[in-house]
Amino acid sequence: MRVIFTDPQKVFVAFLIFGLVNNVLYVVILSAAIDLVGAATPKAIVLLADIVPALTIKLASPLFIHLIPYTRRILALVALSSVGMLIISLSGANAIGTKVMGIAFASLSSGLGEVSFLQLTHYYDEKDAIGGFSMGTGAAGILGSFAFLVLTSLLGISTRTLLLVFAVVPLLFLVSFYIILPELASEIQYGALPTVDGEIVHTEAPQDLKKHILNTILRIVPLIRPYMLPLCSVYIAEYTINQGVSPTLLFPLEQMPQWLIKTYRDIYVVYGFMYQLGVFVSRSSSTFGFRCRGLYKLSVLQVANVAIAIIQSMYTIPFPGLWLLLIFALYEGLLGGLLYVNTFLSVSEEVPRSEREFSMGCVGISDSFGIMIAGCINWWLEQRLCQFQVDRGRNWCKNPNL
C-alpha cells in the first residue's frame, strides 16, 4: 500500500478534525431536540431527520462513491452542513417542517462525511487514521453536548444563536484537508485513487448497472455477521435509550442541584453530556492501545441497558437519584464507543487489503440503520412511557421547561 502522507502526528490530527467536525453538528442538533420541536412533538422526529438522509446516502454510496473525488466530497460537506445549520437557526419557532429540512441537509453531510473519511483511512497508517477519526467523533460528542449544556443551561444563550455559530464550524474541513494533508488534494484525481503498488487505478462507471449492483451486494454480504450486525444492534439499543427513554428519566426539581439543573429539560441535557463523555473516553481507547474483540458481548450488554432504562422510567428503580443515573449514562456511552472503534479496527485488521476501502464505507451503514430503527421505536415508546408516568401522577415529561 502506498502511504501518501507519512507523518503520523499530522495524519492523526487531520482525521481527528474530520471526525470532530463531521459529528459535532449531529450531536448539537440532538442535544437541542426538545428546544427545536417542543414537548408535544416526539423527539424521534429530530432523530429520524438527523439520520434517515445519512442512512440513505450510506446505502447508495457503494454504487457511486468511487466516481467522486475526495476534493469534491469535501466541498459538498461544507456546503450541505453550513446551509443546513443556517436553515435550522433562522427558522421560526413553529416552523418545524423547515427545521426538519435543515436537519436533513446536515444529515446528508454527516453520512457522506463518515463514508468518505472511513474510506480515506485506507490510504494512511490505519491505526493513526482510525484512531484519530474515532477520537474525533468521540470528542464531537463531549464538545457538542458540553457546549450546549454550558451555553444554553448555564449562560442563557439562545439555542438559535448557538446553532448559528455552529454553521461556520464545517470550514475546518477545508483547513484539515488542504493544509494538513496537502498531498492528498493534489494527487487524487477524478475517478482515480492511489493503490497498493503506488499505481493509479482509474475507476469508470460500470457498463452493466444490474451486474454492478449484484456484485456490490455480494461484496457486502460477508461483512454483515461479523461487523454490521453487532454495530447495528448496539446503536438500536443506545439510541432507544437516548431519544426514547431518557426524556422521561426525570426526578423532582427540588432534589436537583440548582447550579446545574433549573428545569426538567436540563436533566435531559446533562444526561446527554454524560453519555457523550463515555463515548469520548471509549472511542479514544485505541489511541492508548486498548482493544476489545468481543463485539457481540458489548452489544448484548447494551441491549440489557435498554431494559434497565425502561424499568427506571416506569418505576424509578434501580436508580433512586440523579447521580447514579448519570453513572449509568456514562457506562452506556462507554459500551457504544468501544464497539464503534473496535468494529472498524477489526475491519482494518481482518478484511483483505483489496476490499478494505470498500468495506470501511459499507460497515458504516450499520450505525445509521440502527439509529433509524431506534427512531421508529422511539416515536411510539417516548409517548407511551410519558403517559405511563402521567397516569401515576408524574407529569414532568409533559412540561420540560418548567
Please give the C-alpha separations between residue 176 and each of 21, 127, 128, 142, 180, in angstroms, as whole numbers: 10, 18, 15, 21, 5
Please give the C-alpha separations between residue 268 and each of 159, 265, 331, 384, in angstroms, as whole numbers: 15, 5, 16, 18
What is d(CA 268, CA 8) in angstroms, rounded to the nearest whole number? 39
User: How would you write the pLDDT of the chain (402 residues) with one tens digit per residue?
Assistant: 445 556 888 889 999 999 999 999 988 998 888 788 876 777 788 888 988 999 999 888 888 888 899 899 999 999 999 999 999 999 877 788 899 999 999 999 999 999 999 988 888 887 889 999 999 999 998 888 888 888 887 888 888 899 999 999 999 999 999 888 756 544 444 333 444 333 344 344 445 778 888 888 899 999 999 999 999 999 999 999 998 999 899 999 988 988 889 888 888 889 988 998 999 999 898 888 889 989 999 999 999 999 999 999 999 989 999 999 999 999 999 999 999 999 999 999 999 988 988 898 899 889 889 988 998 999 899 999 999 999 999 999 887 766
- The helix or strand, by DSSP H or E, that contains position 200, with its residue range, turns out to be strand 200-202
Please check whether residue 86 is in contact with residue 167, taking contact to mean a CB–CB distance below 8 angstroms.
Answer: yes
Neighbour count for residue 172 (Cβ, 10 Å): 16
User: What residues does 200 pair with on adjacent strands?
Assistant: 194
Q: Which of 244, 281, 329 is nearest to 142 (CA)?
A: 281
Q: Which of 110, 54, 77, 145 is nearest to 375 (CA)?
A: 54
- Write the Ramachandran bin of 189: left for phi over 0, alpha for psi from -120 to 50, otherwise beta: beta
What is d(CA 362, CA 46) in angstroms, rounded to the nearest whole number? 24
> Cβ-count burial of 105 within 10 angstroms (0-12 exposed, 13-18 middle, 19+ buried)?
buried
Q: Which residues lie below 8 Å from residue 148, measured CB to CB, with a gap of 6+?
A: 28, 31, 32, 162, 269
Q: Which of 89, 115, 117 is nearest to 102 (CA)?
A: 89
What is d(CA 253, CA 46) in angstroms, rounded to the nearest whole number? 26
Give the pLDDT score at 184: 53
58-99 pLDDT tens trace: 888 888 888 899 899 999 999 999 999 999 999 877 788 899
Q: Which of 373, 383, 336 is nearest to 52 (CA)?
A: 373
Give the pLDDT score at 189: 40
CA dihedral 52, 157, 37, 327 (to 10 degrees): 70
Question: pTM of the entire structure?
Answer: 0.79
CA atoms within 13 A on the CB side of 114: 28
Q: Which of 323, 144, 325 is nearest to 248 (CA)?
A: 325
Give the pLDDT score at 96: 86
Please check whether residue 112 is in contact with residue 76, taking contact to mean a CB–CB distance below 8 angstroms.
Answer: yes
What is d(CA 177, CA 127) in angstroms, rounded to the nearest whole number? 19
Sign, CA torsion 225/226/228/230: positive
339-358 pLDDT tens trace: 999 999 999 999 998 898 88
Domains and CATH numbers, the chain: 8-398 (1.20.1250.20)
Please check whether residue 264 is in contact with residue 384, taking contact to mean a CB–CB distance below 8 angstroms.
Answer: no
C-alpha cell at 69: 473525488
